[in-house]
Structure 1
Amino acid sequence: MVLMTVTATDTGTRALSARARSLAEDSAEWLHRVRLDPQGRWYERLHADADHEVWIISWLPGQSTGFHDHGGSAGAFAVVLGELQEALPEGPDVRTLEGGQVRGFGGHHVHDVRNVSGAPAVSVHVYAPPLSRMNRYDLDESGELVTLRSESAEDW
């Protein structure tokens, strides 16, 4: 696996995006670990230290995260195989990311990531600091976010 250090003083979205891109480009080191699960997205943590963590996620068609944040952690994800869509709560527009594309985001980002294609997808995610909690949301009739629940790292 390509080693690239992400430190507490260098955890901006540019560094996190570079780490995600590097891991996606060197997927031969970890792609064999990916599993497909018809019951829900499959995920595994590849790396964790005091400054950041790395996750791989597989997505079958129709699987999604629902609206969520990352508990104050900044992050980035790279699509390795297939394509994913990212929806934001503030509008109807969605961003489609294909293999090789990376999306970085700050610590207050809320999104819904989903596979609406007809084929499986795989992505690699980097968060700094490591995730300690995530909040799940829904949109009410007026388009405002409503908190459904908060999850701690022990829940994953």
Structure 2
Amino acid sequence: MAHHEQTHHDQAHHDQAPTGRALTRLAVSATLHCLTGCAIGEVLGLVLATWWGLANLPSILLAVALAFLFGYSLTIWPVLRSGLALRAAVGVALAADTVSILTMEVVDNLVVLAVPGAMQAGLTDLLFWGSLVVSLVIAFAVTVPVNRALIRRGKGHAVVHAYHH
């Protein structure tokens, strides 16, 4: 009986949302995870779009699509390794990352669009890479409080933690 009570207590403690600095650390970690996927997708998308000579809208659409693909993939693989079926792992990734990736992508693309000449810059142009880095840094800063609020409510990246070992 004591073991059952201890297990129940541990589970109740584990289910409590973190607060204060622990919550902020978790939000920063979740946002860095999101940033990694978004940055890979953004860079690959914009490099391909620039190489292929795509106009602004198709360039942005390609970069955003790849950001979501890589962002979700970075969540799906570890969840699959925990033993969850693919369909369920996709569901976890959608629940965990959609708002975070969407926030990061909206901010990131608005910043790049606001920088004069950034969308027309070539791959060897410092403006291309500089505006991309600045946009991702700003997007990170905006997304951390979004992830913090989601995690505090048991949403967003908080749903992934049940599958981490």
Q: Judge same fold: TM > 0.5, yes or no.
A: no
TM-score normalised by the shorter chain: which range applies? Answer: under 0.3
Query: What TM-score do you get using the length of structure 2 for normalisation?
Result: 0.27
| TM-score computed with the length of structure 1 as normaliser | 0.28
Greater percentage in strand: 1
When Rg is computed on C-alpha atoms for both structures, the one with the higher figure is 2
Bigger helix fraction = 2
